[in-house]
Chain A
Amino acid sequence: MTEIARTVSPDDRPKLARGVRLTHNEAHGGWVLLAPERVFKADAIAAEIVKRCTGEASVAAIVDDLVKTYNAPRERVLTDVSALLAGLADKKLMEL
């Protein structure tokens, strides 16, 4: 009954798991994701993605918003967002 690491679908509405918080901390030089017994540094791009994971916006909507805000190619943004979310879901930090 091994759960296969899931792929991210455009209809998913990702949300940080309870017990996971994104916070900005000067002393650590930027954004950090706080989780049980763990701290992950988040680069600016990861932070912008995670901030949009409210549980209400779909992956497709998040990608659209990032494409518009940063004037970036959709294909590239979709790849980045999917990879980040799959990685975070795998670590139990994000609920898809």
Chain B
Amino acid sequence: MDTAANGSAPTPLGLLAELTHRCPLGCPYCSNPLALEGRSDELDTATWARVFREAAALGVLQVHLSGGEPGTRRDLVEITAAARIAGLYTNLITSAIGISNETLDRLSDAGLDHVQISIQDSDPGSADHIAGYRGAYARKQALAQEVVRLKIPLTINAVMHRANIDHVEDMVALALALGAKRVEIAHVQYYGWALRNRAQLMPTHEQVERAMRTIEALRLLRHGQIVIDAVVPDYYARFPKACVGGWGRRSLNVTPSGKVLPCHAAEIIPGLEFWNVREHALCDIWENSPSFRAFRGTDWMQEPCRSCPRRERDFGGCRCQAFALTGDARATDPVCHLSPQHAMVGELALVQEDAAYAYRR
């Protein structure tokens, strides 16, 4: 019997704070929803400070300050300081555009613990093309150097897809050269904007195999120099990812307007009721809101998940992906080879088209 389904919720570890959906870049795989929230709906500084205090009381240890581009918030320093004062570990997830060196200095003084900068490709021209923003690559390099100069630990986040997956070795070399202690080889996950651009982004089977071999070799070669985090891309995996570490189990996501989601893509699932921090305390939302209870634990599962020995390991995979691909949010994530609909994933991965990206705007 899963206790979580009976009302006693587990203790969360992380909170993704989407401070804004505004972003100067237009990456075609953006994880923000297709319907972006506007500036006038954004939570103010004081409300974020309250959310952080409530999160810390709930057991949250780390807050990921994200967006959109968090640097578009004029009160980013105040927001960061509030998170730190609440006792949270503060991680800034940025495109680097809109964070001046002076702002970074002030963030450092406010106690910022860690910075993650996304880089679109190791080749500057290609990187700017993917980001849909000229000069992005150069600015990212400059901010990365400033982060290292201030001795703040740096992670480089490299989102991989067909146009750049062959450059994985150069991406790791770039991260090392910039002084990052960690690099995330993050394959595109197909929700929102990325789902719209799936045919343009999907790597080939050969590319994926080659990249995985390269990463394995680099892990050995660079052991002790840089930590390389990478997983098999969704559509080429045998087992699904334990999405968000299990629904309503380890993390929560607050949108710019204050809606609290179990995962950033959860709004695509019809019929889920999301509560807002403007009307409810965070712990009430975590424990009692219908969307968090919907797929918490294992009671909601159908076969083959229900009797699967891995059900407490991957929690049936991703609910949003199950819905996006099968139309049923309770289905086994079809990425799983045990899913009766698994063949569809292989077929979809073959749909590749070299058309122009639909940039996130």
Contacts and interface: CB of A to CB of B under 8 A. Distances in A.
A39 B116 CA distance: 16
B87 interface: yes
Given A23-B61, A28-B13, A36-B114, 10 more contacts: A2-B220, A5-B223, A17-B181, A20-B153, A21-B89, A34-B113, A36-B182, A92-B181, A92-B182, A92-B227
A96 to B, nearest CB: 12
Contacts, number: 65
Q: How large is the interface on A (under 10, 10 to 19, 20 to 34, 35 or more residues)?
A: 20 to 34
B61 A39 contact: yes
A75 interface: no
A43 interface: no
Given A3-B225, A18-B153, A92-B227, A37 B182 contact: yes
A89 to B, nearest CB: 9
Interface in A10-67: 17-21, 23, 25-28, 32, 34, 36-37, 39
B61 A28 contact: yes
B152 interface: yes
Interface string B196-235: 0000000000000000000000001111110101000000
A80 interface: no
B280 interface: no
A36 B151 CA distance: 13
A21 B113 contact: yes
Most chain-A CB neighbours within 10 Å: which of B11, B89, B152? B89
